[in-house]
Amino acid sequence: MISFSYEEKVLTFLAVRPEFRKCGIGRKLVERVKGCFHNGEELSVVTFRAGDERGFFCLAVNLLELDDLERVMEQIKEDETGLSVKEKASHMAGLLQEVSDQKGISLKLRKKSAKSKEM
């Protein structure tokens, strides 16, 4: 299930039933929405509140390719010695951001505007 606003260029809801996750359905839904916009137009995704790392990681696993995610995981395993859980999460976020930047994918979280909250 997916919900988006063509006028505001924002994806507002994405859900895949648990038994169908990890099958690429979420990625296909996002690609379908992206196809509704001109190449190069910025599409925002409303997810967890800004600053919530879970939202960032959720975006990353839904928008990046599996092989990219596997390379990041391998890098984390090599670099994890002596790092706290929080430091590992921060390091992983940095690596995912680098990969997404190379692919031209935005993993930015944005706060809902006052206008969106009123609706």
pLDDT tens-digit readout, 57-88 = 777 877 888 899 889 888 888 887 787 877 88
Q: How many degrees, rounded to 5, is the angle at CA 99 between CA 97 and CA 105?
A: 75
Q: Exposed/middle/buried for 56, CB within 10 Å: 0-12, 13-18, 19+?
A: buried
Domain boundaries, the chain: 1-46, 48-108
pLDDT tens-digit readout, 28-54 = 888 888 888 887 777 776 655 555 666
Q: How many degrees, rounded to 5, is the angle at CA 18 between CA 55 and CA 9?
A: 45
